[in-house]
Homo-oligomer: A and B are copies of this chain.
Amino acid sequence: MRVSPNLALGPGREFDRLRAIYQRLKTPSGLGDDCAVIPFGKTNLVVSIDLSVEGVHFRTDWLDYKAIGARAAAGALSDLAAEGAEPLGLLVSLGLPPSATDDIAADVMEGISRKAGIAAPVLGGDLSRSEKYLVDICVLGRAARPVRRSGARVGDGVWVTGRLGGAALALRELQAGRRAADPFLASRYDDPEPRLAAGRWLAAHGATAMIDISDGLAADAAHVAAASGVALEIELEQVPCWEGVEPLAAAASGEEFELLATLPASFGSDAARDFRLTTALDLTQIGTCAVGEGLRLTLGGRPVPPPPGYDHFAS
């Protein structure tokens, strides 16, 4: 989730709260989106912050401490990916309960550091006692041409990377007290990959708007529609689904960390093949941008009501 002061926000409890905050602050900033963008010398500094709290975003009986760190880092880096940015580094605040050993703290940090890789070193951080574990990660990156949520134009195609629905499947296994037998499926939840190279490729190849699928395809498509002032028409039968997942479930699955991008109509199957060769990821057109507003989901030509987005403030 990212605070988006001046952009039209999608629906949901968390966004109501942000509206209340921004009404009060009267922030003059034109920033928002997945990241804040600050012109800096000849390029742009791109920054985002991502808070993970025990019991809300993760459970210590589902994930080991390295995986908790890796997931938190993946979520933050995914925001950079959605801007088409190159990561520079990250800052980490850790909250640790009195029972946490030094080894646990080092495990969390090792998970973060491994996921971020050498391109994005841990630059600094802060430690505090707290009742529950918490991991807050600020990512720093740069982008000559950052891609916002607000640039989709009527006529653009709507594309998505990878396949959707695996994160929800893998989470369901954890909720049932076991890790998914298929390690590729299990990793969709406990070791997700931020799509950094894919995001930079799409930015360099004309993406007009981009967002990572952390709230679910349907909710994030609605965010792009609201920010861009267009309607996003998505055909559910085109959505690339994880094996055994129905399209509507795939469109509701949160924390997928794939990218939704709008691309000019001229972007076609040849370009998508080049993308696959470069990134070893699928890239699938699932719809188009039309005059109007909001998300229009169809299945076999019939309208389907959008599923609710992933909302940490839902009780």
Contact = CB atoms under 8 A, between A and B. Distances in A.
A106 B24 contact: yes
A126 B45 contact: no
B57 A128 contact: yes
Contact of A31 (B32, B42, B123): B123
Interface string A21-55: 10111011101100110101111010111111101
A140 B45 contact: yes
A315 B98 contact: yes
Contact of A3 (B55, B126, B130): B126
B24 A109 contact: yes
Contacts of A132: 130-131
A162 to B, nearest CB: 24
A95 interface: yes
Given A21-B109, A45-B45, A129-B56, A38 B123 contact: yes
B24 A110 contact: yes
B89 A129 contact: no
Contact of A25 (B31, B57, B110): B110
Contacts of A32: 124
B29 A123 contact: yes
A127 interface: yes
Given A95-B51, A106-B20, A136-B93, A124 B3 contact: yes
A125 B49 contact: yes
A106 B3 CA distance: 13
Contacts of A129: 53, 56, 312-313
Interface in A43-78: 43, 45, 47-53, 55-57
A91 interface: yes
A174 interface: no
A160 interface: no
Interface in A92-126: 92-95, 98, 102-103, 105-106, 109-110, 113, 121-126
Given A56-B130, A132-B130, A124 B47 contact: yes
A273 interface: no
A282 interface: no
A288 to B, nearest CB: 30
B48 A18 contact: no
B88 A21 contact: no
Nearest to A49: B91
11 contacts: A3-B124, A3-B126, A38-B140, A41-B42, A49-B93, A49-B126, A49-B138, A52-B128, A127-B313, A128-B312, A130-B134
Interface of A: 1-3, 14, 16-18, 20-21, 23-25, 27-29, 31-32, 35-36, 38, 40-43, 45, 47-53, 55-57, 88-89, 91-95, 98, 102-103, 105-106, 109-110, 113, 121-132, 134, 136, 138, 140, 142, 312-313, 315
